[in-house]
Structure 1
Amino acid sequence: MFNQLKAIIQYLLPKQLLTLIFGWIANKHLGKVTTWMILGFSKLYKVDLSEAKISDVKEYKTFNDFFARELKDDARPIDSAANSIVMPADGVISQFGVVQDNLLLQAKGHFYSLESLLACHPDMIKFFKDGAYATTYLSPQNYHRFHMPCDGILREMIYVPGSLFSVSKATTESIPNIFARNERVICLFETEFGPMAQILIGATIVGSIEVEWEGCITPPREGIMKRWTYAGEVKLTKGQDMGCFKLGSTVITLFASNAIAFDSHLKVGDITRVGQKLAERI
């Protein structure tokens, strides 16, 4: 009942406006006000700043600088095994498994289609038919940058406009097709494991999605799909920083059929850390 109430509120909220306002405030140099905001947020969500390269909140000029903070170089060791695939983000495994009948599990009783997630891109649908997927939810307390699960060469990136529903546990259990309805950035890589996609999901108050090779992808929110293609000039290594959310959200990682096997100890609800083993090559 409580989750249903939250869902109703989500439908009624002016999500685009709230995100615009919060994004504007978060990018402003507000001096002591910024410091107080960061201190309050850190206390409310129990943010561990001891891992950050900048641990003194007074050194952050904007709230967004704090959101996009980098960690100390040794904070997230990367699994070095040649056949391993690593966690792309700090957060929680909300779902993982195999795409069955072209459907991915969102939450108990809720599925969404591969076609809708990939904006009906015919090649990508073919690449990931019967493939494997892992969904990592980043809460507000988490480190907000996302990383490469394995070495890869970027081939294509697509921005898909959409809604900005919250992607918390309560809303994913109540609102159908949430990942296929929300705005997202789809990054397609060529890897030694076959094609791999990292899908970066927008959400309420996520003021920005940024990637290292193009900078800020959203905003602006112009309501049109955008596409970038690459000829091999963007090469990323396992564990390398890909970009950031300006507040928590979700990363969906897709692999081709019969390419990888998830770690035998992995289960829904597991806490994830960048660089820990997620899967290995079959």
Structure 2
Amino acid sequence: MEKWLYRFLIELTNHKFTSNLLKNFSRSRMSRLFINSYAKAYKINVEEMMDDIQSYQTLHEFFIRRLKSDARVIDPAEETVASPVDGVIEEFGTILPSKEILVKGKLYSIEEMLGDPARMEKYMDGSFVILYLSPSHYHRIHSPLNAHLVDQYVLGNRSYPVNKYGLKYGKSTLSKNYRVVSELKHHSAHIAMVKVGAMFINTIECTYKNENWKKGEEIAYFSFGSTVVLLFEKGTFTLNNKIKTPYHVKMGESIGSMHE
């Protein structure tokens, strides 16, 4: 019953009209009136923001706020993988022989997520990490390591929520939602970085156009809450053994290491 009701409510509200209504409001001057209450409700640390809270003209500007240059420390070791976002590691594990990952007791197709069987093959039996961003988190996305951007493309047109309930009860949210896939190469190892849009607002704005990514550099931002999925080739990545789900992480913090 809970699963059916959740899906019914999401389908009821998952339409362009509702999405555009919320998107337009968040960009309106009227939305500025809600910034202070939003910050208090989500316990946002205003001291680490680059700009004073009174300087933001809309809720959208506040959603995509930047931080002071010293607010996050980027792990300096060459082979470590830094968290690309502030968020919660909700799941990690091994990609199954069925080309799926198990998330909150539910199977998701990696082949469908990447949109191409040929791209999927290199990640068979590899590792995955899922990082969820709530509306309270800093929403800028950064490069997890020094790498070369091999390809980048857009897939999907849905906007199911990507929180723990969306992952558990939604219809293939990670595989069907609007998403931007970046395929990276670190030395000889490939990494897929899938940026998944969230309910109502599917904005994923790529801000970095260079093909060579430096660890910690900003490469994109989300509007509202969203998720990042990292996929690694078999035998190329080891997760930090201190990580147990759910694990709260800051951008720049090491989540594991690469090896060949």
**TM bucket normalised to smaller:** over 0.9
Residue 6 (1) aligns with residue 6 (2) = yes
Q: Secondary structure at the match of 1:94?
A: strand
Listed as ranges, the gaps of 5+ residues in structure 1 are: 215-232
Q: Which amino acid aligns with 1:206?
A: I
Question: Counterparts in 2 of 1:250-265, with a 5 A limit?
Answer: 250-265=227-242
Answer yes or no: is the 8 Å Cα contact 2:195–2:228 preserved in 1: yes
Contact 1:15/1:204, CA 8 A, preserved across alignment: no
Q: How far off its partner does 1:105 sit?
A: 1.6
Distance between the aligned counterparts of 1:240 and 1:145, measured in 2? 10
Q: Give 1:212's aligned residue.
A: 207
1:18 is matched with 18
Match of 1:103 in 2: 100
**Distance (whole Å) between structure 2 residues aligned to residue 281 and residue 190 of structure 1:** 11
Counting matched residue pairs gives 258
* TM-score normalised per structure 1: 0.86
Aligned to 1:128, the other structure's residue is in SS state coil
Match of residue 217 from structure 2: 240
Using the TM superposition, give the Cα deviation of residue 50 of structure 1 relative to its aligned residue in structure 2, in angstroms: 1.3
CA offsets, 1:149-179, max 9 Å, x none? Answer: 1111112111002211111111211124221
In structure 2, relative to structure 1, the CA distance for the partners of 1:208 and 1:176 (3 Å cut) is closer
Question: Could you say which residue in structure 1 is the equivalent of 2:64?
Answer: 68
Residue 77 (structure 1) aligned with residue 73 (structure 2): yes
Quote how far apart the aligned CAs of 1:61 are. 2.1
Aligned residue among 66, 71, 90 for 1:94 = 90
For 1:205 and 1:49, locate their aligned partners in 2 and report how far apart those are by CA, in whole Å: 25
C-alpha displacement of 1:23: 1.5
Q: Is the CA contact (8 Å cut-off) linking 1:76 and 1:273 kept in structure 2?
A: yes
1:135 aligns with 2:112: no
Normalised by the size of structure 2, how large is the TM-score?
Answer: 0.93
* Partners of 1:142 and 1:127 in 2: CA distance: 32
* Structure 2: distance between partners of 1:120 and 1:53: 40
Shift of 1:14: 3.6
Match of 2:167 among 155, 169, 172: 172
Q: Between 42-51 and 68-77, report the one with greater CA deviation.
A: 42-51
- Return 245-254 or 9-18, whichever deviates more: 9-18
Q: Which residue number in structure 2 is paired with residue 217 of structure 1?
A: none
In the TM superposition, residue 3 of structure 1 has moved relative to its aligned partner by 5.4
Indicate if the aligned counterparts of 1:23 and 1:207 stay in contact, CA closer than 8 A: no
1:178 counterpart letter in structure 2: T
Q: CA separation in 1, counterparts of 2:104 and 2:65? A: 30
Contact 2:128 2:230 in 1 (8 A): yes
- Corresponding letter in the other structure for 2:60: N
* Match 1:37 to one of 34, 37, 43: 34
Q: Write the distance in 2 (CA, Å) between the matches of 1:199 and 1:270.
A: 19
- Deviation track 1:38-77 (CA, whole Å, cap 9, x = no partner) reads 11211222222211101x2220122221111111111110
Q: Which runs of 5+ in 2 are unaligned?
A: none
CA offset digits 1:67-106 (Å, max 9, x no partner):
1111111111011122211111111111111111111122
Amino acid at match of 1:158: Y
C-alpha distance in structure 2 between counterparts of 1:208 and 1:27, whole Å? 12
SS in structure 1 of the partner of residue 145 of structure 2? coil
Q: How far did 1:11 drift?
A: 1.9
Quote the offset at 1:121 in angstroms. Answer: 4.6
What SS is found at the alignment partner of 2:241?
A: coil
The answer on 1:190 being equivalent to 2:178 is no
CA distance in 1, matches of 2:229, 2:160: 16
Q: Equivalent pairs: percent with the same residue? A: 26
The 8 Å contact of residues 37 and 63 in structure 1, kept in 2 or not, is answered as yes
